[in-house]
Amino acid sequence: MGRKKIVAGNWKMNMTPSEAVTLIDTLKPLVKNDDVDVVFCVPAIDIIPAIEAAKGSNIQIGAENMYFEEKGAYTGEISPNMLTDAGVKYVIIGHSERREYFAETDETVNKKVLKAFEHGLTPIICCGETLTQREQGITIDWIRQQIKIAFLNVTADQAKTAVIAYEPIWAIGTGKVATTEQAQEVCSAIRACIGEIYDEATAEAIRIQYGGSVSAKSAPELFAQADIDGGLVGGASLKPDFGAIVNYNK
Ligand SMILES: O=C(CO)COP(=O)(O)O
């Protein structure tokens, strides 16, 4: 049994609530594809209007981040309960921009991943190397470390339902997409690492996305790779192009 593809948009810090509704109305008819799970990860303030706007479509709404505590004195943070109560199913954890600008670490990523599973949220767990790391030949070592810490104390049953997004930092927002071979090589190493931590069945079940300058042009070849189960799309998820990316196989 094959893994179902999953294509997620990461809107980052774009779209006001009213712009979110307009964009979803525009994209709704373009992102129909029974072969693909379609997720729009939107800013927290857009979640409620986005869920309303996406009703009756195949679009699921995700969050871009959440905190790892249940509630309390954490000014500015969003709790897992707030997300599930609003109808959110997916949450991006540990995006490289969160790690770079908001001091997230492999350890906080792990806490958030555990908390997401506790609440029945599917985490989209991000990993990726810098250009320097790639040039120094330590990409696979680095990614394995990120994965091993992110999955500490995660059970095999939980891991089977997780999504991992491999996003080379040098390919994000740069128009520099990793070559198909580079992307497949790392996604295959991630699957092997999951196999080592858990077992073959877990490695086969987990879904691994590629992210970094994914476009309507690059998506078909990327998503056809054995270990690439879809994409996490930034810039192109804000445009009608996203419809073509979701329909990469048509
Ligand atoms: O960071 C990304 C998705 O999370 C990728 O962004 P771009 O598609 O804009 O390169």
Whether the Cβ atoms of residue 38 and residue 28 lie closer than 8 Å to each other: no
At residue 175 the predicted structure's pLDDT band, cuts being 50, 70 and 90, is confident
> Which residue's CA is the closest to the ligand 1 atom numbered 3?
234
Identity at 6, one-letter amino acid code: I
Is 10 annotated to bind ligand?
Answer: yes
Q: Which CATH number covers residue 28?
A: 3.20.20.70
81/100 Cα distance (integer angstroms)? 26
pLDDT tens digits for 160-172?
999 999 999 999 9
Catalytic annotation, pick one of 64, 97, 104, 167: 167
Whether the Cβ atoms of residue 221 and residue 242 lie closer than 8 Å to each other: no
Q: How far is CA 139 from the centre of its chain?
A: 19
pLDDT tens digits for 80-139?
999 999 999 999 999 999 999 999 999 999 999 999 999 999 999 999 999 999 999 999
Domain count, the chain: 1
Q: Is 119 a catalytic site residue?
A: no
Q: How far is CA 1 from the centre of its chain?
A: 22
At residue 176 the predicted structure's pLDDT band, cuts being 50, 70 and 90, is confident
- CA quadruple 43, 49, 52, 53: dihedral sign: negative
Q: Is 167 a catalytic site residue?
A: yes
pLDDT tens digits for 23-38?
999 999 999 999 999 9
Q: What is the pTM of this model?
A: 0.98
pLDDT at 1: 55
Is 234 annotated to bind ligand?
Answer: yes
Domain span at residue 93 reads: 5-246
What percentage of residues in the chain have a pLDDT greater than 90? 97
